[in-house]
């Protein structure tokens, strides 16, 4: 691989960001930083942003007494502020209200209309405003959308439709062959079984009575349905102007991170749009699970929600980044409680890493060791070629454990008095080992990584993660 392009979903701005948004975005940031280390900064592109159109936004803005643009500007500011607090280094933040995005979307819709992929028809279906999506009967539980617990509205209106049915066999092939790789494996199975068991209906891509959206260039009485608008951000975020003959150098995306609630649309409508345009599909669509608390979905009524601001206050930026990503296997649902997060913080950060750093620094006061600036490359070939967040974290923490054990086994504070040659040898290993760990920690905990490196140079003590009582 010589370039790496990673995206998060663009987040819907009907409310302020929460822990789920933070989870996906931190993961993307870690992978982007990892690849910047491996491939060089100029060969990595990390895109995030916000999805700002649609009926739901129009309604919440109205009820807040604001016009939609004013409303979305305010929410976007909250997202950006949170990304700063979490040390997220994105290369671009795309907003679907950006003029250049809107223009490119219109250009694409015109192309799809001209080549017959979009046609005028009538759409009848059950519309969940929470999802901004038409639902199948089989998606509903007791007649309600299970994600929003509301009865979808039966809508029958004139609409423009995107052809999906005719692409179904080809889409199945691309997923089966991993040309369009859905991972983890269970999501590939889920989508394939969905695609093989029912006919994909052509999908509505426009709404007639929603003004807060992008007008269709060939019929301005319609605006684009939010998904068709939103998906194209993955391309317009690279400054793409909608010309399918001139693709950006970072395309196709190497990894698109999404939560499981938006898997199906990402695995059907999105590739279909690209296939109609004759554009390459993203290489990997990586789906992760939800963060639960005490085994349940977080909710205000249950009082089990973990607030991202609270985490930042208690654990700091790097502590929060580490704890969210190490709370469980990335990809699966993870279960977190404040109590367990505090335990893990104390065990891994205050004790494990904190002890290693303070002991190594204290002992190295007695000696002068030069650390080369060459890349020590702690990670194994396997992780470099196929990075998995969980595997990389385990790897670093095993190194921390081993180095702590090395200190216990060799008791350098005794060697300093009895055997200076062996002492120097042990310290050399210790200091270089810690330097390597600080490098390997960089994608996860950028600030801590810098602090450790600096402390090794200056030999000044450094406060990293004070114990929480």
Catalytic residues: 18, 21, 128, 131, 145, 148, 297, 300
The reply to whether 390 sits near Zn ion by the rule CB under 5 A is no
CB atoms within 10 A of CB 359: 18
Give me the least distance between CB of 458 and Zn ion, in Å please.
55
The reply to whether 260 sits near Zn ion by the rule CB under 5 A is no
Q: Which of these, 243, 54, 199, 187, lies nearest to 133 by C-alpha position?
A: 54
Query: Given the complex with Zn ion, which of 128 and 171 has the nearer CB atom?
Result: 128
Q: Which of these, 10, 18, 15, lies nearest to 291 by C-alpha position?
A: 18
Determine the number of helices (DSSP H) and then strands (DSSP E) in the chain.
17, 16
- The secondary structure of residue 379, as a DSSP letter, is S
> Positive or negative, the Cα torsion across 361, 363, 366, 369?
negative
3-state helix, strand, coil in the chain (%, to 5): 50, 20, 30
| Cα–Cα dist 360/404, whole Å | 9
CA atoms within 13 A on the CB side of 257: 29
In terms of C-beta distances under 8 Å and separation of at least 24 residues, what long-range contacts does 63-70 make, across chains too?
A: 68/212, 69/97
Give me the least distance between CB of 149 and Zn ion, in Å please.
8
Q: Which of 112, 117, 128, 324 binds Zn ion (CB under 5 A)?
A: 128
Q: CA–CA distance from 48 to each of 11, 236, 257, 262, 264 (Å)?
A: 8, 11, 10, 16, 20
Give me the least distance between CB of 56 and Zn ion, in Å please.
10
Give me the least distance between CB of 131 and Zn ion, in Å please.
3
Query: Given the complex with Zn ion, which of 128 and 167 has the nearer CB atom?
Result: 128
Cβ-count burial of 462 within 10 angstroms (0-12 exposed, 13-18 middle, 19+ buried)?
Answer: middle
Instruction: Tell me the window of 123-131, 156-164, 439-447, 450-458 that interacts with Zn ion (CB under 5 A).
Output: 123-131
| Cα–Cα dist 182/174, whole Å | 10
Contact between residue 24 and residue 287 where contact means Cβ atoms under 8 Å apart:
no
Query: Given the complex with Zn ion, which of 20 and 130 has the nearer CB atom?
Result: 130
Instruction: Tell me the window of 126-134, 171-179, 251-259, 348-356 that interacts with Zn ion (CB under 5 A).
Output: 126-134
Does a cis peptide bond (omega within 30 degrees of 0) precede residue 93? no
Contact between residue 360 and residue 431 where contact means Cβ atoms under 8 Å apart:
yes
The reply to whether 352 sits near Zn ion by the rule CB under 5 A is no
Q: Which of residues 133-152 bind Zn ion (CB under 5 A)?
A: 145, 147-148
The reply to whether 226 sits near Zn ion by the rule CB under 5 A is no
The reply to whether 248 sits near Zn ion by the rule CB under 5 A is no
Give me the least distance between CB of 57 and Zn ion, in Å please.
15
Q: Which of 20, 130, 215, 328 binds Zn ion (CB under 5 A)?
A: 130
Give me the least distance between CB of 132 and Zn ion, in Å please.
8
The reply to whether 117 sits near Zn ion by the rule CB under 5 A is no
The reply to whether 334 sits near Zn ion by the rule CB under 5 A is no
For the residues of 142-179, what is the DSSP string, one character each? TTBBTTTTBPPEEEEEEEEEE--GGGHHHHHHHHHTTS
- The secondary structure of residue 278, as a DSSP letter, is T
Task: Please tell me the count of residues contacting Zn ion according to CB under 5 A.
Answer: 6
Query: Given the complex with Zn ion, which of 59 and 459 has the nearer CB atom?
Result: 59
The reply to whether 264 sits near Zn ion by the rule CB under 5 A is no
Query: Given the complex with Zn ion, which of 150 and 307 has the nearer CB atom?
Result: 150
Biggest CA-to-CA distance, the chain = 88
Query: Given the complex with Zn ion, which of 73 and 139 has the nearer CB atom?
Result: 139
Give me the least distance between CB of 160 and Zn ion, in Å please.
22
Q: Which of residues 147-176 bind Zn ion (CB under 5 A)?
A: 147-148
Q: Which of 6, 76, 131, 291 binds Zn ion (CB under 5 A)?
A: 131
Query: Given the complex with Zn ion, which of 98 and 147 has the nearer CB atom?
Result: 147
Give me the least distance between CB of 329 and Zn ion, in Å please.
27
Q: Which of residues 36-55 bind Zn ion (CB under 5 A)?
A: none
Q: Return residues touching Zn ion (CB under 5 A).
A: 128, 130-131, 145, 147-148
């Amino acid at each position: 691989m010589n370039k790496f392009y990673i995206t998060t979903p663009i987040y819907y701005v009907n409310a302020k960001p929460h822990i789920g948004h933070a989870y996906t975005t931190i993961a993307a940031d870690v992978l982007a930083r990892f690849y910047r280390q491996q491939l060089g900064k100029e060969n990595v592109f990390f895109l995030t942003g916000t999805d700002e159109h649609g009926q739901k936004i129009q309604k919440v803005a109205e009820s807040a007494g604001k016009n939609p643009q004013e409303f979305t500007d305010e929410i976007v500011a909250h997202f950006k502020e949170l990304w700063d607090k979490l040390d997220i280094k994105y290369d671009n933040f795309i907003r679907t209200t950006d003029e250049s995005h809107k223009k490119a979307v219109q250009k694409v819709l015109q192309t799809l209309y001209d080549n017959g992929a979009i046609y005028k028809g009538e759409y009848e279906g059950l519309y969940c405003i929470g999802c901004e999506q038409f639902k199948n009967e089989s998606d509903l539980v007791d007649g309600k959308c299970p994600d929003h617990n509301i009865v979808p509205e039966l809508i029958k209106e004139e609409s423009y439709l995107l052809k999906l049915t005719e692409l179904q066999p080809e889409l199945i092939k691309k997923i089966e062959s991993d040309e369009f790789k859905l991972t983890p494996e269970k999501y590939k199975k889920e989508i394939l079984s969905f695609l093989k068991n029912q006919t994909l209906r052509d999908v509505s891509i426009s709404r007639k009575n929603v003004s807060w959206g992008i007008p269709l260039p060939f019929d301005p009485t319609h605006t684009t349905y939010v998904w068709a608008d939103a998906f194209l951000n993955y391309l317009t975020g690279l400054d793409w102007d909608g010309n399918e003959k001139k693709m950006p150098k970072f395309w196709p995306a190497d990894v698109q991170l999404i939560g499981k609630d938006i898997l199906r649309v990402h695995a059907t409508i999105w590739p279909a749009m690209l296939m109609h345009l004759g554009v390459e599909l993203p290489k990997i669509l990586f789906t992760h699970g939800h963060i639960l608390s005490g085994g349940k979905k977080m909710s205000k009524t249950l009082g089990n929600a973990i607030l991202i601001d609270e985490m930042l206050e208690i654990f700091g930026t790097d502590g929060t980044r580490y704890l969210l990503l190490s709370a469980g296997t990335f990809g699966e649902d993870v279960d977190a409680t404040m109590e367990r997060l505090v335990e893990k913080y104390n065990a891994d950060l205050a004790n494990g890493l904190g002890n290693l750093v303070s002991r190594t620094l204290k002992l190295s006061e007695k000696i002068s060791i030069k650390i080369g600036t060459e890349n020590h490359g702690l990670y194994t070939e396997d992780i470099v070629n196929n990075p998995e967040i969980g595997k990389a974290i385990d790897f670093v923490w095993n190194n921390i454990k081993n180095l702590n054990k090395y200190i216990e086994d060799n008791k350098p504070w005794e060697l300093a008095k009895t055997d200076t040659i062996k002492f120097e040898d042990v310290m050399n290993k210790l200091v270089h080992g810690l330097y390597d760990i600080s490098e390997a920690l960089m994608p996860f905990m950028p600030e801590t990584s810098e602090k450790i490196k600096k402390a090794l140079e200056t030999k000044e003590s450094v406060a990293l993660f004070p114990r929480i009582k």
